[in-house]
Amino acid sequence: MFQYEIKRENEKAFVHLEGSLSLRDSPKLRTDIKSLIDTEEIKELVLDFKNLSYLDSSGVGILLHTYSWTKEKNKEVRIINLSAEVRTIFTVANLLDIFQLKEET
């Protein structure tokens, strides 16, 4: 099961992801992330993967779109608390160099 929660703090938006992100869950998350990036007062998007156990290729696609959208708007995207399982997926997909990764908030 996948779920997420969005919290805003000043110019930052935090998206806390939990469970297993797959194709079924991707469209709503994609729409919500795009809306956050399009919000003028949000300057940085922080994706918290602490409780995310898996993501498939659609999740990787969302991350690549997120990176592209934030760069278009001169904003930042960071990923924090990457689990070992998801780090393996990032390694295979060559995503480790694209995102600023932090272990703790």
Q: What is the CATH number of the domain that holds 54?
A: 3.30.750.24
Return the pLDDT at 39: 93
Q: How confident is the model at residue 31 (pLDDT cuts 50, 70, 90)?
A: very high
| Cβ atoms within 10 Å, residue 30 | 17
Instruction: Give residue 83's pLDDT band: very low, low, confident or very high (50, 70, 90).
Output: confident
Query: Which residue range forms the structural domain that includes residue 13?
Result: 2-102
- The total number of structural domains that make up the chain: 1
